[in-house]
Structure 1
Amino acid sequence: MEIIPVVQDFTPPPPLAHDGKFHVRLTSGRFQNLRRLTSWPLIALFFGLVWVQFDGQPWLLFSFEQRRIILFGSALSWRDLPLLAGLLIAAACLLFFLAVAWGRVWCGFACPQSIWTWLFIRIEDLVEGSAVKRARQSGEPLAGLRLLRRVTKHLLWMLLALATAATFTGYFVPIREILSDSLQLQLSAAVAGWLAIMAGLTYINAGLVREKICLHACPYARFQSVMFDNDTQTVSYDARRGEPRASLRRGASNSGDCVDCGLCVQVCPVGIDIRDGLQAACIDCAACIDACDGVMLKLERPKGLIRFASEVQLRGDKGRFLRPRLAGYGAVMLCAFSAVLYGFTGTTDLLVEIRRDRGAMFRQLDAHTVCNVYQVKVEGFSEAHRFIDVSIAGEGHYDLYGPGRIDLAEESASWLPYRVCTRDPKLPRAVLTFNFDGGSVQTSKQTTFLSRSF
């Protein structure tokens, strides 16, 4: 086994800021362009989808007040929530598949924590200057123009955090109602409190805490090692090529390609040194790859000193992409998505609940007439089914007293009283069937009819 010599007098580059705060240095390159091509459409969807309407209804809304989920124009009942749980499970399988294949690319390219952190960093860079400038001024008094820039930065952060909170809340309460109530100062205490909490959390997470979420709070960082194998492609430093590190001035004939410039550390949003090997905090954003490739191009050396590579490839062997673990995750992912898609074909269009009157099991009106009282609730989840006809069927002759037609636009999710009577009870307990007909949708619900005590 080849032993790579290490420069003994190596000392890591000093912190970028005098006060110990880590300032992320922005870089450019193909992976950063790819990250923007991934994140910006997601940002546009997040902020834009909440405003889209279909036939006067939000295209995506989780309404607690209406007890329904509007998903891409189709209304689902709360009994269809297992479908959303299945969708989350399928998405988790996709995440595991990506982790086995390419490491934490989700974290670096599409995770909301990472996307909003980069947004806040760009605002900071735009208002207060580059990372080098911010680090150089970190020990200076906070006054004058620098104080104005600092206040402006935090105000912009708060504005973005508030917009994020309002948009997120708009997926549970129609965004137009939130905006209208806010302008008229009629926002409810619950919604106002939720907006304040969400805005505060966004401001703290993306503006102040940042990489500590990835380092200490993200559970994915803790169990990623379980999914990795020797063929997982992840951001890696090629120590065989880079060591021993030496600057251009101290370089020797046996020096590696790493010139110890420290740029890979300065551009890392979580502040790690990729040259120390695979670490749980690494989010595979590939910023260090772009920074290192830029240095290699200037030195007229081959790119790829830091690159997406597996342990097998770093040893100089040929890696393999398709392997049993990856195929297993892929099969589970496809099965999960197929099951969810099939489940969406059988969603609930009409939801019916029936409960008996708890005050009395039955009522004897005269010597021959026995009545039972029921409470019926009908909920419709399609705009095409507004009127529902109600009828009753059972062994014998029964009369139904109550609304024969229900207008779901006015009485959906309301408990309606019904009375069922018979003059010829054949059995002490009979099975009744309430039939609900909405034209293209029908459903029925069984209940019991009691004619005497047991």
Structure 2
Amino acid sequence: MTSQTSKIHVRLTEGRFQNLRRLISWPLLLAFFGLVWVQVDGQPWLLFDFTQRRIVVFGSYFSWQDLHIMTGMMIAGAALLFTLAMAWGRVWCGFACPQSIWTWLFLRIEHWVEGRAGVRARSDHLPLKGQRLLRRIIKHGLWLLLALVTGLTFTGYFVPIREMVMQLVTMEASLPLLTWLLCMTLLTYLNAGLVREQICLHACPYSRFQGVMMDDATRKVSYDRLRGEPRRSSENPNPAAAACIDCTLCVQVCPTGIDIRDGMQAACIDCGACIDACDQVMNKTAQPTGLIRFASEKALRGEASRLWRSKLVGYLLITLVALFATGYGFVSKKELTAEIRRERGELFRWLSDGQLCNFYHIKVEGFDPTLTQVQVTLLNQPELQLYGPEYLPLDNRGDWVAYRICTASPQVSTLPLLVQFTANKTVLVKKSSFITRTISG
């Protein structure tokens, strides 16, 4: 991998891959900044609600006991990522990764405020004063503003954004919330504005293990050495020498600062910027495009390269199985959960009124806003009496409520218990046991 010690001034370019990247990234940006504001019947459409211990996904409510569904989604996403890497390299990184998307946004701001990459590179040694200082202040101010909006939006998926904005406007926001917003703002500012390519070079684990998933049939951004070498230059002006004119535009437009002509490198995110820049040069020099292109090692050697291989099919099957399991989880999700725990210590206790009692703690949570309270009843045990609140509020605070179940005529064996929880049309039955004292004959 090419080491990078100096600051990278990325030159912006145009082309079909940059258009494709925008076609993918802009809908993702609109979804990220827009969905957080969407409400249905007064409820957020997407929310990880820690206070109510539930997850709202497109209007559907999930409990924290449904986290296996989220696990299935993550497995499906990882398997899909492996499928893409096996087929086309790190196209996720180049076209849809949040780090890349926000880096390009910050680069656009830098280009708009301080000028083209060449101008910025030439002015690096100049004193930071006057108009140059003003432009630098404006750039970092816009970076911080975008980072703040990003932090607010991200936090809005965990705290209802309308309530959060109102708290900030009225200066009633809590210290933990302000601290979190500050951290998210600074992290976005550092990652996309100051650190940038260092995340891809050193922090991203994907670049380290991508080679395990790829093989010589994987299509990735590649330089055709057979066609491009030896490069034309002022020392070698022969037009028949090779296609590459050593203009270094492929290096100048690379967001991680590598030279694709050095071969496959862990820092390459397969964004296609070097392809667009090189194709423009090929058009200007009246040569066929594709000196840099998405190609496999086999294709570069002139060998047949199949897209579908056994490993790729395996990754795809894992993706489909995980998606099927996740879909089943969505269908079988729970709207009401309940837990029953016996009180520690005594198995039973005699009370002064002659009743034998077992003591329990019950916790009930509802994950549909239409469920406001739940009725607690015993089933099929007429000789047992339940003592405790008949109705519990579904405020999802996670409180355990004390109950006792008693009988005036203890039996010689342990009795099975069926406790029914009813909230509107939702009915849940949980099992437990009632322990009695053995009576000697």
TM range, smaller chain: over 0.9
Q: CA deviation at 1:156?
A: 0.6
Structure 2 equivalent of residue 222 of structure 1: 208
Matched, 1:351 2:337: yes
Q: Equivalents in 2 of 1:406, 1:396: separation in Å?
A: 22
Structure 2 equivalent of residue 9 of structure 1: none
Tell whether the 8 Å contact from 1:264 to 1:287 is kept in structure 2 after alignment.
Answer: yes
Structure 2 equivalent of residue 342 of structure 1: 328
Tell whether the 8 Å contact from 2:411 to 2:437 is kept in structure 1 after alignment.
Answer: no
Q: Equivalents in 2 of 1:435, 1:241: separation in Å?
A: 75
Structure 2 equivalent of residue 442 of structure 1: 427
Tell whether the 8 Å contact from 1:368 to 1:424 is kept in structure 2 after alignment.
Answer: no
| Cα deviation 1:273-308 (Å, max 9, x = unaligned) | 001111111000000000000111111111101000
Structure 2 equivalent of residue 43 of structure 1: 29
Question: TM-score by structure 2 length?
Answer: 0.94
Q: CA deviation at 1:419?
A: 2.9
Structure 2 CA distance for partners of 1:286 and 1:186, relative to 1, 3 Å: same
Structure 1 equivalent of residue 401 of structure 2: 416
| Cα deviation 1:92-120 (Å, max 9, x = unaligned) | 00000000100000000000111111111
Tell whether the 8 Å contact from 1:394 to 1:431 is kept in structure 2 after alignment.
Answer: no
Q: How does 1:196-207 map to 2 (within 5 A)?
A: 196-207=182-193
Tell whether the 8 Å contact from 1:378 to 1:412 is kept in structure 2 after alignment.
Answer: no
Question: TM-score by structure 1 length?
Answer: 0.92
Q: In structure 2, what residue type is equivalent to 1:329? A: Y
Alignment length (residue pairs):
437
Q: Equivalents in 1 of 2:202, 2:245: separation in Å?
A: 31
Q: CA deviation at 1:453?
A: 8.5
Secondary structure of the structure 1 residue equivalent to 2:80? helix
| Cα deviation 1:374-413 (Å, max 9, x = unaligned) | 22221111234334332113555112223323343x5764
Structure 1 equivalent of residue 302 of structure 2: 316
Structure 2 equivalent of residue 238 of structure 1: 224
Structure 2 CA distance for partners of 1:298 and 1:388, relative to 1, 3 Å: same
Matched, 1:430 2:430: no
Q: Identify the range of structure 1 (412-421 vs 178-187) with the bigger mean alpha-carbon deviation.
A: 412-421
Structure 2 equivalent of residue 29 of structure 1: 15
Tell whether the 8 Å contact from 1:394 to 1:430 is kept in structure 2 after alignment.
Answer: no
Q: CA deviation at 1:249?
A: 7.8
Q: CA deviation at 1:209?
A: 0.9
| Cα deviation 1:212-271 (Å, max 9, x = unaligned) | 111111111011111111110000011111111013784215410101101000000000
Q: Equivalents in 2 of 1:249, 1:296: separation in Å?
A: 20
Tell whether the 8 Å contact from 1:157 to 1:203 is kept in structure 2 after alignment.
Answer: yes
Q: In structure 2, what residue type is equivalent to 1:426? A: Q
Equivalent residue in structure 2 for 1:264, among 244, 250, 256: 250
Q: CA deviation at 1:164?
A: 0.9
List alignment gaps of at least 5 residues for structure 2.
none
Tell whether the 8 Å contact from 1:222 to 1:280 is kept in structure 2 after alignment.
Answer: yes
Equivalent residue in structure 2 for 1:371, among 357, 369, 374: 357
Q: Equivalents in 2 of 1:444, 1:120: separation in Å?
A: 55
| Cα deviation 1:140-194 (Å, max 9, x = unaligned) | 1111111000001001111111111111111111111221111111211111111
Q: Identify the range of structure 1 (353-362 vs 30-39) with the bigger mean alpha-carbon deviation.
A: 353-362
Q: Equivalents in 1 of 2:41, 2:143: separation in Å?
A: 35
Structure 1 equivalent of residue 313 of structure 2: 327
Tell whether the 8 Å contact from 2:51 to 2:397 is kept in structure 1 after alignment.
Answer: no
Secondary structure of the structure 1 residue equivalent to 2:338? strand
Tell whether the 8 Å contact from 2:411 to 2:438 is kept in structure 1 after alignment.
Answer: no
Tell whether the 8 Å contact from 2:81 to 2:92 is kept in structure 1 after alignment.
Answer: yes
Q: Equivalents in 2 of 1:383, 1:147: separation in Å?
A: 53
Q: Equivalents in 2 of 1:232, 1:285: separation in Å?
A: 15
Q: Equivalents in 1 of 2:293, 2:249: separation in Å?
A: 15
Structure 2 equivalent of residue 292 of structure 1: 278
List alignment gaps of at least 5 residues for structure 1.
1-11
Q: In structure 2, what residue type is equivalent to 1:284? A: D
Structure 2 equivalent of residue 146 of structure 1: 132
Q: Equivalents in 2 of 1:395, 1:405: separation in Å?
A: 19
Q: In structure 1, what residue type is equivalent to 2:417? A: L
Equivalent residue in structure 2 for 1:115, among 101, 112, 119: 101
